[in-house]
Amino acid sequence: MAKERIKTELVESQPVLPIENAEDTARVLIFGGLEANAGAFSASEALLGQLQAQDLRIGALHQSDASAAVWLMEAGVTLLSMAAMRNESKDASAIGVIGATTIGAGETEAIANRPYIRCINGIRLGVVSFAEQKAGAFSGRADLISMQAVDRVRMLLCECDHVIVLVHSGLPTGELPLPEWRARYRRFLDAGASIVADTGAVKGWEAHKNGLVFYGLGSPASADSLGLFLTLHRNGKFTYEARALQNTGVLDYSKNDAFRAKIDAQNALFWDERAYLAAANDMCTRLYCESEAAQKRGVLGLLSPQAEQEMRLLSLLENESMRLMTLRAIWLKNSAEKTKRENAKKP
């Protein structure tokens, strides 16, 4: 896929169009992940028609919650990623999702990493799901940091026209992907995946090699999110539409120009590596300072009780995104201080 400037498409109303050559395409919709208190599902007539035109609707659960399960069922989601779910449930039936196939979670690593494979109108589609997990033993979720994660895409590509990778990682309050996660997501595309989609907060997207990586879709039950509409063809070819969605009690195409402008600004950074790294560094420095202020003296605060220090350090080591953010922020701080000292020595 030639790299092109990507913008969200603002659609106020969209008629349901006939599907041309339906026997040679697979239509897939990917939503972002849902948290608790999702409310009741309701969609506009225009959007509902498009939902019903999809051959496969994919969603994600980030928290075991009955209202989120009901929302997904009523939206017609039939493939559910559970790799990023933060509590112990490993079975969709335990939270009331009826008629959905789950991936990304299970009693064993083999089950948690098992792909979803389906043939739609002659198009072979494979989907895998991974998420950032706490450091330690297997906890019932497919681990994004696993050395086998990229290999699973390569193996799946041998029997599929397209591989979609659902992921979730990063800093909850960050507005951009960390450089390390960006590089890892791109590795899935290097391995042959068509789409990599993070189900967390919206953080822009970009083209890479022959595919697309979305750094966040947002929750469709929240005010603003993205719906990723894919039309898949044989031999790895596809087209897509990233539609800005808005939920004001009824899920509809967005009229929020500010949301669209925010995503366009995020996307523009991926065109300029220096600008992106500068913005990512600023983000890490800001979030580190906020974290340090909240902890009074930081992770290694000398005036804190020893037990409290150890708990904060353990929390940092368990969370890969926090560790990466902290390392980057401290490196930037030390580099700035070194430069300041060297400048002070100059005549």
280 — pLDDT class (breaks 50, 70, 90): very high
pLDDT tens-place string over residues 115-137: 999 999 999 999 999 999 988 77
Q: Mean pLDDT in the chain?
A: 86
Give the pLDDT score at 299.
Answer: 44
Q: Where are the alpha helices (DSSP H) in the chain?
A: 45-52, 66-74, 109-112, 149-157, 179-190, 257-269, 273-294, 306-318, 320-345
What DSSP string runs through 313-334? HHHHHH-HHHHHHHHHHHHHHH
What are residue 111's phi and psi, to 5 degrees? Answer: -70, -45
295 — pLDDT class (breaks 50, 70, 90): low
Tokens 């919709």, located at residue: 29
CB 211 within 8 A of CB 219: no
Maximum Cα interatomic distance, the chain, rounded to a whole number of Å: 75
Query: Higher pLDDT residue, 139 or 224?
Result: 224
**Within 10 A of 3 (CB to CB), how many other CB atoms are there?**
11
Percent of the chain with pLDDT over 90: 66
Give the pLDDT score at 11.
Answer: 43
Q: Render the burial of 8-35: b for 16+ CB within 10 Å, e for the rest.
A: beebeebeeeeeeeeeebbbbbbbbbbe
CATH of domain 22-269: 3.60.21.10
92: left (phi over 0), alpha (psi -120 to 50) or beta: alpha
Inform me whether the pLDDT recorded for 65 exceeds 90: no
Give the pLDDT score at 301.
Answer: 47
**207/125 Cα distance (integer angstroms):** 20
Q: What share of the chain is helix, strand, coil (3-state, %, to 5)?
A: 35, 25, 40
Give the pLDDT score at 82.
Answer: 93
Give the pLDDT score at 310.
Answer: 66
Inform me whether the pLDDT recorded for 334 exceeds 70: yes
Q: What are the start and end residues of each CATH 3.60.21.10 domain in the chain?
A: 22-269
Nearest to 162 by CA among 241, 228, 231, 242: 231
Most confident of 238-242, 296-300, 339-343: 238-242
pTM above 0.85, yes or no: yes
9 — pLDDT class (breaks 50, 70, 90): very low
What are residue 160's phi and psi, to 5 degrees? Answer: -130, 150
